[in-house]
């Protein structure tokens, strides 16, 4: 069973990163539960979680949004293509969201190890997760939608 305590750290952290680095105010769209596999967007960052909480979290964005995120991560540098510099900026956003979420999880008593985020490029990415259901959280702002796909469950004690 997916608990709200697993979801909020990721959502809060995403809001914080957009606000802190991009000065962007975002809103949470309608949550929905979808069956696995997760359908990706142009750029997908996959994170594995083990420990008290198990599963995957995948951040998905379209190319346009990726360029805008890279631009604010790179101090306002105009970014026009999904090159190495752009990819490392998007990866770093994944690192920050995940790192802060992991800290919040541990402060709430869920100790977990998180794998370094890996980046997958391409709309046709399908990520199958062990859980049959995935919670999709759209984070909507002026730079487009950052979708957080969460498939996390509590480990058996």
Partner 1 sequence: MKVIKTADLVPGMILARDVHNPNGLLLARKGMKVTGDLIRKLTAWSHLELEIEEKTDVLLEKEEKKLIAEVSQIHERVINLTENLMLSMDDPSELNPNMLKGMVGELKNQIDTNSNILLNLSHLKKYDHYIFSHVVNVSVLSLIIGRELGLSALELRELGMAALLHDIGMTKIEREIYDQKERLTPEQWQEIKRHPKLGADSLGDTEDFSEAVLRGIREHHERCDGSGYPQGLVEAEIHLFAKIIAVADVYDACISLRKYRARLTPRDALENLFKQSKLFGMEILKAFISAMAVYPIGTFIKLNTGEIGKVIGISHGEPFRPELSIYYNRSGELLDKPLRINLNNDENSLICIDYTIEGMELKKIEEDLLSD
> Smallest gap, in angstroms, from Cβ of residue 104 to partner 1?
10
Count of residues that bind partner 1 according to CB under 8 A: 30
Q: Which span (28-36, 108-116, 126-134, 148-156) binds partner 1, by CB under 8 A?
A: 108-116
Q: Are 113 and 129 in contact (CB under 8 A)?
A: no
Give the chain's length: 157
Exactly one of 45, 60, 65, 98 binds partner 1 (CB under 8 A); which one? 98
Exactly one of 57, 112, 135, 137 binds partner 1 (CB under 8 A); which one? 112
> Smallest gap, in angstroms, from Cβ of residue 89 to partner 1?
7
Q: Is the dihedral of CA 26, 102, 94, 76 positive or negative?
A: positive
Exactly one of 37, 116, 122, 155 binds partner 1 (CB under 8 A); which one? 116
Which residues make Cβ contacts (< 8 Å) with residue 59, sequence separation at least 6? Answer: 14, 44, 45, 47, 93, 94, 97, 146, 147, 148, 149
Distance CA 87, CA 61 (A): 12
State which of positions 31-90 bind partner 1 (CB under 8 A). Answer: 73-78, 84-85, 88-89
Crossing angle for the helix pair 84-107 and 4-22, to the nearest 10 degrees: 130
| Interacting residues with partner 1 (CB under 8 A) | 20, 73-78, 84-85, 88-89, 91-92, 95-96, 98-100, 102-103, 105-107, 109, 111-114, 116-117
């Amino acid at each position: 069973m997916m608990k709200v305590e697993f979801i909020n750290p990721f959502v809060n952290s995403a809001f914080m990163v957009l606000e802190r680095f991009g000065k962007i105010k975002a809103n949470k769209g309608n949550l929905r539960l979808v069956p696995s596999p997760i359908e990706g967007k142009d750029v997908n960052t996959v994170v594995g979680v083990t420990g008290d909480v198990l599963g995957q979290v995948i951040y998905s964005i379209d190319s346009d949004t990726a360029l805008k995120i890279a631009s604010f991560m790179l101090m306002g540098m105009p970014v026009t293509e999904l090159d190495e510099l752009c990819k490392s900026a998007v990866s770093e956003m994944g690192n920050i969201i995940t790192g802060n979420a992991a800290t919040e999880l541990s402060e709430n008593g869920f100790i977990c190890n998180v794998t370094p985020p890996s980046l997958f490029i391409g709309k046709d990415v399908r990520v199958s997760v062990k859980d049959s259901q995935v919670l999709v959280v759209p984070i909507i702002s002026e730079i487009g939608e950052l979708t957080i796909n969460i498939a996390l469950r509590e480990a058996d004690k």
